[in-house]
Structure formats: C-alpha cells, structure tokens
C-alpha cells in the first residue's frame, strides 16, 4: 500500500450495487465561534471487488484511480463486521 494515498474509516450504508458500497464517514470538528463540536457526514462510493461488505460493517477505504464516474475509492479491509 502506498503511504501517500488517503485512507478513511467509515460505515457501510448501502451495498445494493454490484461491486460498489456506499460508505458514510463521520467527522467531528470544533466550531470556531461557538466552540461546540459539530458532526458532519460525507458519503463515498467505494469499489468492493468481492462484494464482501454488508450494511453496518466498519470498513477502511483507500483512494485510487477513477474506476467510474463516482468511484475514486477502493475497499482496503473490513475492520469490524456488523452484529
């Protein structure tokens, strides 16, 4: 794995597409004026070659070359299975 590539850890929110999963990445950032933590979520489409990931799984994704119009991420590993 290349050290210059970005990696994110998030939860799978959709696995309905073939070889594609949608991952929600949640971050907490401190608001500059109000000094309160604000939660923001972004969704990424990631390439899942073996269709392993299921909804609720915690996964790690790595950036890669563009695979399709929306997919620029690849599933690196499944960190934790959904219960």
The DSSP bridge pattern shows strands 58-63 and 73-80 to be: antiparallel
Low-confidence ranges of the chain (pLDDT < 70): 1-2
What is residue 15's predicted lDDT score, i.e. its pLDDT? 96
* Percent of the chain surpassing pLDDT 90: 93
Q: What contacts 74, CB < 8 A, 6 or more positions away?
A: 46, 47, 61, 62, 63, 64, 67
| pLDDT computed for residue 83 by the predictor | 86
The domains of the chain, with CATH numbers, are 7-80 (2.40.50.140)
pLDDT digits (tens, 9 = 90+) for 43-66: 999 999 999 999 999 999 999 999
Q: Rounded distance, CA 72 to CA 7, Å? A: 12
């Amino acid at each position: 794995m290349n050290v210059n590539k970005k990696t994110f850890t998030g939860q799978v929110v959709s696995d309905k597409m073939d070889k594609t999963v949608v991952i929600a990445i949640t971050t907490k950032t401190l608001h500059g004026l109000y000094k309160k933590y604000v939660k923001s979520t972004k969704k990424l489409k990631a390439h899942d070659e073996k269709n392993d990931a299921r909804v609720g799984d915690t996964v790690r994704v790595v950036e890669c070359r563009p695979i399709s119009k929306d997919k620029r991420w690849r599933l690196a590993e499944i960190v934790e299975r959904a219960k």
